[in-house]
Amino acid sequence: MIKFEFVGLRYGVGPEVLSDINFTLEPGSFHFLTGASGAGKTSLLSLMYLGRKPTRGLVSMFGQSINKLERKQLWSLRQRIGVVFQDFRLLPHLSAFDNVALPLRIMGRPEKETRNNVGELLEWVGLGDYKNALPLTLSGGQQQRVAIARAVIGRPKLLLADEPTGNLDDEIGFRLMNLFEQLNRMGTTIVIATHNHAIMEKFGHSRLILEMGGLRVEETRSSLRRKIEGVY
């Protein structure tokens, strides 16, 4: 699904924020991405959602080296990736409903299907009464849920979430984690950047740990079991 080989990233002429990153994520796997603040979690995710090109090294997504892809192929590749940004990035002048509907509209799905799916999902994340609200009138946690709904509405093959439960209490946090689990069971590969140990303990997926610019993979008992059972 994702393969990084000796990937390095620097901003401008600054020092390398990420260096010699090597890892492979299998299709259908579930990972937490963790590391201290400033360790480069957001930067690593931005390489995965093709928001940036690495300064060195090779990145392959969906089995294709991204350097070799044409512009057109990048569009359809991006449509298969759902992203929850750390700062949400909701379009400020669009209602919660239209923000969530955006990926489906970009994909050109029929409007009727879009309306049904978006309405249902917004109910599910507890924002049924806020369909027409503009993002600025929503609380941080509500905006976060809109951002999550937008990331999952298109049933992406890869879901990247940057601190998706940061502003949420545990109850709703777990509820949304269950949403990700469900998506994962349907075949979506998931990477979630988080500091939240309670969540990492509870769900027990393998961890990608960023330290001093490098990346270390830490399997857990449950992730190893899944591997052995051949889930992926």
Ligand X SMILES: Nc1ncnc2c1ncn2[C@@H]1O[C@H](COP(=O)(O)OP(=O)(O)OP(=O)(O)O)[C@@H](O)[C@H]1O
94 vs 92: CA distance, rounded Å: 6
Structure tokens at 110: 């029929």
The interface partner of residue 148, options being ligand X, another protein, Mg ion, none and the CB cut-off 5 to 8 Å by kind, is: none
Distance (Å) of CA 229 to CA 75, 200, 224, 225, 232: 35, 21, 8, 6, 8
Report the residue from 1, 2, 7, 17 that binds ligand X according to the rule CB under 6 A.
Answer: 17
Q: Which stretch binds ligand X (CB under 6 A): 38-46, 55-63, 90-98, 121-129?
A: 38-46
Residues that bind another protein (CB under 8 A): 49-53, 71-72, 75-81, 83, 89, 91, 93-95, 98, 101-103, 105-107, 111, 114
Q: Does 43 bind ligand X (CB under 6 A)?
A: yes
Q: Does 42 bind Mg ion (CB under 5 A)?
A: yes
Helix (H) or strand (E) holding 46: helix 41-48
The interface partner of residue 106, options being Mg ion, ligand X, another protein, none and the CB cut-off 5 to 8 Å by kind, is: another protein
SS (H, E, C) 50-99: CCCCCCEEEEEECCEEHHHCCHHHHHHHHHCEEEECCCCCCCCCCCHHHH
Total residues binding Mg ion (CB under 5 A): 3
The interface partner of residue 39, options being another protein, Mg ion, ligand X, none and the CB cut-off 5 to 8 Å by kind, is: ligand X
